[in-house]
Structures are given as C-alpha cells and as structure tokens.
Amino acid sequence: MQQSEMAIKEHASELATPELSSRHIDITIVVPLMNEQESVRILFERIQAQINQLGKSYEIIFVDDGSTDKTFEVLKALHEENPGVVRVVRFRRNFGKTPGLVAGFERARGDVVFTMDGDLQDDPQEIPRYLEKLDEGYDLVTGWKFPRLDPISKTFPSRIFNGMVSQLTGVHLHDINCGFKAYRREVIEDPHLKLYGDFHRFIPVIAQSRGFRVAEIKVTHHPRQFGVSKFGAKRFAQGLIDLMNILFLTTFLRRPLRLFAPLGFWSFVLGVLIDLFIVLRSYFWIHEPIHQQPMLFVGILLMIFGVQFFLAGLQSEMIRHYAFQRDEEYSIRQELV
C-alpha cells in the first residue's frame, strides 16, 4: 500500500513539474518486460548511447509486468539516476504484453514511439534506420529479425503464423510478432486502435485497415543472454484465435451480413442437396428407409445452421446500425481549411 501511494505521489509530482510536462520529446521508447533483472541496465545503456548520438530528446518508459525477481529494484535505481528520462510503471501482477504496451502508449510524449523487448535481442543501433524509413512517409515500421537466432521451437510456429496472417489479412510481413517497432504519434493516438487481449501482435493489421502506411525492415537479432523465453505453445494457439478475431474486426465488422449471408446460403444449399440426394437414392436405387440414413440428419442440421447464420448476420447488422458512429467510418490524414 505504501509503495502504491509513493508511486501515485511520484507520478503526480512529475505531472506537476512544468519542465517535464511541457518539454518537447522527440522519441519515446516503451519497453514492457518481466523478470529481466540482468538485461534491463544493459539495455538502457545501449539505448542511451545510441539516441545521444542522434542528438534527440527522448524518454524511456519501462513497464514492469509483474516481475518476481529484482527487475523493479534495478528500474527504480535507473529512474533515480536518470530523472526526466526513465519512467517506470509497475503492474501488480503479470497482465501480458498488450496491457504493458497500452500503459506505455498512454504515457508516451514523443513524436515517434518505439517499442522494444527487454531481453537484449533487439539492437538499439537499428533506431536510425527506423527513423529513415519513417521519413520516407510511412506511419509504422516493424522489424524483421533476419537471421533470427531463436530455437526452432519458436521459429517454426512463428513462420506458420506469419504466413497465415499474410494470406488472410493482406498485410504481407515476414515477422509480425517482432516487438521492435516504430510508430508515428498519430498511430497510437488513433481512437480506434483498441488493444486488448493479445492484439499487440496485430497492430500493423489494425493500422493498415485504418489507412496508415506500414513498412518492414530487416534488423539485427541477438540470441537471448539472460533469463528464459515467455513464448510457448499456449501463446501460439491463442494467436490463432486472435487472428480469426482480428480478421473479422478489420474485414467484416462494418458489413457483418457479408460474412454471415454467404455462410448461411451455402450451408442451407448444401443441406438441401444432401437431403435431396438421400431421398432420390432411397426411392430409385437402394430402397432403404430414409430415417435409417445418417446423412439425412446431416443435411437437416446444415439447413438449420444456414438459417441461423443468416439470422446472426441480420442481428449483427441491427447492432451495427444502432452502434453507428460517423467518425469510425474513415481516418483523416490531413485537412486543409
């Protein structure tokens, strides 16, 4: 309780400090991490050295996602040693990477916002290349770890997942899961960039659906030096579910009947054809009672599913109609008055 009160007081005093709240920030780097006590200081020093060479103002927001080691103690020391540069958000428990990024985005003040992992596998020396790509007119630049120095237990599922995302969404990226990304401020401030669950990996898909320009660059990838990976089979399975979710939200959310009507129509037609075949076969070929043929009930179920799909589409259209908001229908890049 005392730590929570101290954190609130520190945050309030920071907001009340004019030079901190009004100071222009060129670059914000958001680093969500958990149990990276050996890596975090090394990462900070590498980021600091690289951005100092660029001569830009910056801040680094570390989000401690429920660490159980001494990560927070190291972050607290960095905050005290680098006031106005290092900001720390500490979660009460492990909430996941998406909430960590959301917390960082809400506090970011930079014109360009970077996200990096805290395991030293992302190389801060790539930051100038990201900025160069943004200067070409892109709004979001994501990294492609090449060559990727991870065990096959991570690279093989990731390759399958990336291929599925590319084919189903039309966003052709080699490594959509790469945490090393750069955003123009307009992207993270878009009110319709709604991140929850594990949607952080699909930010490029959501951004492109909103009209932002997305690019990919090859970046240096380092093997993990400390700690253990948080990736597992469970995350891969969750990613497939989230992919179906994001595909619907970015493709059919505004026109749900265009998804449900074809599903309903073809399910119903297939059911009719199956039952028609069963009836004709029973009367003209094998002369077997219709009710003894299991395929008859398959056809009936398909017809029922077809009607339900169509009704679900109509219901979704009604919800869409009453939830309609004009500003969700478009995304303005520039306006001349």
Task: Say if residue 201's pLDDT is above 50.
Answer: yes
149 or 293: which leads in pLDDT: 293
286 pLDDT above the threshold of 90: no
pLDDT (average), residues 20-25: 70
Does the CA dihedral 67-70-72-74 come out positive or negative? negative
Judge whether residue 111 has pLDDT over 50.
yes
**pLDDT of 292 over the 80 cut:** no
pLDDT value at position 197?
79
Q: What separation in angstroms does the CA of 120 have from each of 33, 188, 207, 274?
A: 11, 24, 27, 58
Considering 43-47, 95-99, 166-170, 188-192, the range whose residues carry the highest mean pLDDT is 43-47
Cβ atoms of 46 and 14 closer than 8 Å: no
In the predicted model, what is the mean pLDDT of the chain?
A: 84
Comparing CA positions, the residue from 192, 41, 184 lying closest to residue 118 is: 41
- Cα–Cα distance for residue pair 274/214, rounded to 1 Å: 46
Q: Residue 65: its pLDDT value, please? A: 93
pLDDT value, residue 15: 40
Are 62 and 139 in contact, with CB atoms under 8 Å apart?
no
pLDDT at 244: 83
Q: Report the pLDDT averaged over residues 228-250.
A: 71
C-alpha to C-alpha distance for 334 and 318, rounded to whole angstroms: 32
pLDDT in tens, 253-274: 778 888 899 999 999 999 999 9
In the predicted structure, residue 133 carries a pLDDT above the cut 90: yes
